Structures are given as C-alpha cells and as structure tokens.
Structure 1
Amino acid sequence: MHTLTVILGGLLLFAVLALTARLIPWLQHHLLAVFALLWFIASAINMTVGIVHAGYSFMAELPIFFVVFLIPLMLAWAIKKTYLQS
C-alpha cells in the first residue's frame, strides 16, 4: 500500500509541475527533466527511509526504488508526449 501511495505522490508532483509550467515558460520545455530530478530525489529519500528506519537491506529496497521511480516517470513521459506538446 505504501508503494502505491508513493507512486500516486509522484503523479501528483507531475500534475503540480505541469500546472506550474503554464505560468513559467522555461518549465514547459524542461518539464520532464525537472520532474525526473525531483522525483529521483524523492524516491531516493523513500528508499533511504526504508533502509534506515524499516530495516530493509539495500538490495531489498532497490527493486522497489525502480518501480517507484520509473512508473511515474513513464506515465509523465506519456502524458507530456500525448497531451502537453509544446
């Protein structure tokens, strides 16, 4: 359940950035790069919390990190390509 919540948080972050991009012209052109950077940092923090506080090993957390990071990134890319042509 936590993984699904984090993935939905990534999609929410992309939605906020996409709406903000309407006000900031340079963000329209760099939307995916900015999202990828911010989401990578958030996913890495999530993985660190899983390692430090929940007691999982790095190797146990790594596949979850990839799922949490890549699913929102792929959906953001598809949404930008389909609906947010700039």
Structure 2
Amino acid sequence: MAIASLIFIPIWFVAAGVNLYIGVNEAGYSFNEELPVFLLSFLVPTLFAITIYWKVR
C-alpha cells in the first residue's frame, strides 16, 4: 500500500496534466483559468496519498 501511494503520484500528475491540456486546448479556457483546477485536482489527492504513505509505512 505504501509503494502504491508513491506510484500513484506521478500517474496522477500526468492525468491532471492531460485534464489541463484538454481544458486549455479543447474547451477554450485560458491557462490562468485552468491552473487552479489543475492545482486542486493534483494536490488534494497527492496530499492524501502522502498521508497514506506515512501512516502505512
């Protein structure tokens, strides 16, 4: 479980980055409009994964 939470972080970064790319290039939002969404969608699950890592480790 601890290793899985660390593997999750870069995979989730790519997924959030794809979401950012689609929001900017396909949906027509500006980068500044999409940046808060990217930060929330990446940081909240990442902090949760780090918390799991430290508790399970």
TM-score by length of 2: 0.83
Gaps of at least 5 residues in structure 2 are none
Question: For structure 1, which runs of at least 5 residues remain unmatched after alignment?
Answer: 1-17, 22-27
Please say if 1:79 is aligned against 2:52: yes
- How many aligned positions are there? 57
The list of structure 1 runs, each at least 4 consecutive aligned residues, that deviate by more than 3 angstroms after superposition, is none
Q: Once the two structures are aligned, what percentage of the paired residues are identical?
A: 39
TM-score by length of 1: 0.58
CA contact (8 A) 2:9 2:49 kept: no
How big is the alpha-carbon RMSD for the aligned residues of Structure 1 and Structure 2? 1.8
> Larger Rg: 1 or 2?
1
Partner of 1:46: 19
